[in-house]
Amino acid sequence: MEPVMHQVWPKVFQPLRRALILSKRSHSGCAEHSVVLEPPTSRRIRPPHLVSRLYQPSHLRDVGQETRLQAEMTCKSQRLMQKAGLIHPSNPGCYYYLPATVRSMEKLVRVIDEEMQQIGGQKLDMPSLCSANLWKTSERWDLMGKELFRLKDRHDGDYCLGPTHEEAVTTLVAHQTTLSYKQLPLLLYQITRKFRDEPKPRFGLLRGREFYMKDMYSFDVSEEAAHRTYESVCHAYTRLFARLGLHCVQVQADTGMIGGKLSHEFQLPADIGEDNLLVCGNCSFSANVETLSSDDKSCPQCKTGTLSESKGIEVGHTFYLGKKYSQIFNASFSNAQNRSCVTEMGCYGLGVTRILAAAIEVLSTEEGIRWPGLIAPYQVCVLPPKKGSKVDEVTLLADDLVHLLGEALPCLRGEVVVDDRTQMTIGKRLKDAKILGYPYVVVVGQGALEDTPRFEVICQHTDEKMFLSKEALLDLLTKVETI
Ligand SMILES: [Zn+2]
């Protein structure tokens, strides 16, 4: 009988359901009256997610795992994500992304898609299995050293699992012999799994060997045009982090293995960050330490300010490449005079899984996750009272409320979770809700018995507690931004 209690019944059937439940109660122990009808099926209404049914394995049996984890370098985001059943370790630097994480990642991907397409980006998908020939052509087959995951096919052909795709995308564009200046700038991007044989994978999703990245490549007619494209991508990145509510600094960076002439990193300041930044207290100048001569502590931009050190997690990287790859692979276009010219390129990365973990790292408390609101796996968690408690009867109101949220707030469809583990106290479930970090938790308890029922609402971002009527609650939740 139990599961039926928590299914959502379409509104017209609510009185019937109520009557059934009441009759069941007054005849407790009487088998013939305890038959509850299955709710009529409806294509229109999506049932809420029930915590008892969500796959969030948080109590793990593998003791060896636990010991291994303690031996590895861990950080807040990794601890919280494992505790909440968001990720599960497999091989070093590789994780299972569990359902709530995938929900959040899909939202993040939608935000990224919006921002990239806003500046003209077109999404494609390139093979992860990359032929060594391309990498030998660019001479990176040897340069990359042990970071590259290499493998052989049955014909003894060399391949690598792509950590980045400059060679692949440039070859693709080079294959188009009719590319016209009218089609430029061309911005192609993908969001795919990338592979890097890290010497020391650590910090959960922050430094893994298998991860998701957005990589975009731009092709322009001239250096000047390429710089404009570069700027527009940097602006898109800045907008993206602002939408996520993350404080991100854009710093001048080393071009490293990718090469090129101009490069910036997008860094989230955090103590566990692996990059050392120098930030001027006087102007907007900031740089990765690697790019400055070691002893110079005065700001090269304003000359008067002093630079202070801070740690950062790199979440994005932009490079102006010039003709480095387009020359090698002959990615050319025909100009207005119908002459063939080599394109000017840029490449732009965003660590998708890393953004997720870094956001949790910088926003959360030690007790619980705080998500960027826009990409929280679920927006609202409703807690009905404990079964058998003195306010047990408001369970019906909790069901009504969940139903109402689905009806009145289309943007919250699929975003509401009901913690139906009513054998547990509210306090215990609140603790779990805190770890998981639903932005809004609604407790249906004592207050729901008042003449004008009121609900306890906890905004987990601010720890603010409110008692709201149904109308005020709807009003509050209407403002929740979803994607
Ligand atoms: Zn300065």
CA of 475 to the centre of ligand 1 (A): 45
- β-strand 49-50 against 416-418: which pairing, if any? parallel
CA of 298 to the centre of ligand 1 (A): 8
CA of 355 to the centre of ligand 1 (A): 28
CA of 286 to the centre of ligand 1 (A): 8
Three-state SS letters, 160-180: EECCCCHHHHHHHHHHCCCCE
Where exactly are the structural domains of the chain?
A: 2-54+372-478, 76-363
Within 13 A of 456's CA, how many CA atoms are on the CB side? 15
CA of 291 to the centre of ligand 1 (A): 15
How many other CB atoms are found less than 10 A from the CB of residue 8? Answer: 21
CA of 305 to the centre of ligand 1 (A): 5
CA of 223 to the centre of ligand 1 (A): 27
CATH class, 76-363 region: alpha beta
Distance, CA of 234 to CA of 218 (rounded, Å):
13
pLDDT of residue 274: 86
How many other CB atoms are found less than 10 A from the CB of residue 82? Answer: 22
CA of 443 to the centre of ligand 1 (A): 50
CA of 292 to the centre of ligand 1 (A): 14
Distance, CA of 418 to CA of 51 (rounded, Å):
6
CA of 359 to the centre of ligand 1 (A): 28
CA of 307 to the centre of ligand 1 (A): 7
This prediction has a pTM of 0.87
How far apart are the two ends of the chain, measured CA to CA in Å? Answer: 36
pLDDT of residue 59: 58
CA of 261 to the centre of ligand 1 (A): 22
CA of 388 to the centre of ligand 1 (A): 65
Tens of pLDDT along the chain (483 residues) come to 334 444 444 454 455 455 544 444 444 444 444 445 555 544 455 678 999 999 988 755 554 555 555 555 589 999 999 999 999 999 899 999 999 999 999 999 999 999 999 999 999 999 999 999 999 999 999 999 999 999 999 999 999 999 999 999 999 999 998 899 999 999 999 999 999 999 989 899 999 999 999 999 999 999 999 999 999 999 999 999 999 999 999 998 877 766 667 899 999 999 888 888 888 888 878 888 888 766 667 788 888 888 888 899 999 999 999 999 999 999 999 999 999 999 999 999 999 999 999 999 999 999 999 999 999 999 999 999 999 988 888 888 999 999 999 899 988 989 999 999 999 999 999 999 999 999 999 999 999 989 999 999 999 999 999 999 999 999 999 999 999
pLDDT of residue 27: 43
CA of 279 to the centre of ligand 1 (A): 8
pLDDT of residue 72: 58
CA of 238 to the centre of ligand 1 (A): 20
Within 13 A of 392's CA, how many CA atoms are on the CB side? 11
CA of 289 to the centre of ligand 1 (A): 15
CA of 231 to the centre of ligand 1 (A): 21
Helix axes 352-363, 99-118, angle to 10 degrees: 110
CA of 257 to the centre of ligand 1 (A): 28
CA of 277 to the centre of ligand 1 (A): 14
pLDDT of residue 70: 54
Please count the residues of the chain: 483
The pair of structure tokens assigned to 343 is: 């394109």
Distance, CA of 311 to CA of 278 (rounded, Å):
9
CA of 158 to the centre of ligand 1 (A): 48
CA of 300 to the centre of ligand 1 (A): 7
**Amino acid at residue number 49:** H
CA of 465 to the centre of ligand 1 (A): 42
pLDDT of residue 370: 97
Is residue 171 within 8 Å of residue 188, measured between CB atoms?
no
Distance, CA of 389 to CA of 239 (rounded, Å):
48
CA of 247 to the centre of ligand 1 (A): 19
The yes or no reply on domain 2-54+372-478 and CATH 3.40.50.720 is no
